[in-house]
Structure 1
Amino acid sequence: MPTFTQITTSEQLEAAIQQSLEKPVLLFKHSTRCPISAGAYAEAQRYLAGSPNSDASYVLIHVVEDRPVSLEAADRLGVEHASPQAILLKEGRAVWNTSHSRITSSALKEALS
Structure 2
Amino acid sequence: MVKQLYTKQAIENLIETNKTCMILKHSLTCPISANAYDVYQEFADQTEIPLYIVHIQEARELSEQISEVFDIKHESPQVLYVNNGEVAWHASHFDISRENLMQAVRG
TM-score bracket for the superposition, by shorter chain length: over 0.9
Which runs of no fewer than 5 residues in structure 1 stay unpaired? none
TM-score (norm 1): 0.89
Does the 8 Å CA contact 1:43/1:105 hold for their aligned counterparts?
yes
| Equivalent residue number for residue 36 of structure 1 | 32
**Pairing partner for 1:25 from 21, 26, 32:** 21
State the aligned residue count. Answer: 106
Distance in 2 (alpha carbons) for counterparts of 1:95 and 1:60: 17
Q: Secondary structure at the match of 1:97?
A: strand
* 1:46 maps onto 2:46 in alignment: no
Which runs of no fewer than 5 residues in structure 2 stay unpaired? none
| Equivalent residue number for residue 7 of structure 1 | 5
| TM-fit CA distance, 1:59 | 0.9
Distance in 2 (alpha carbons) for counterparts of 1:4 and 1:73: 17
Q: Aligned partner of 1:88: which letter?
A: Y
Runs of 4+ that moved beyond 4 A: none
State percent identity of aligned pairs. 29
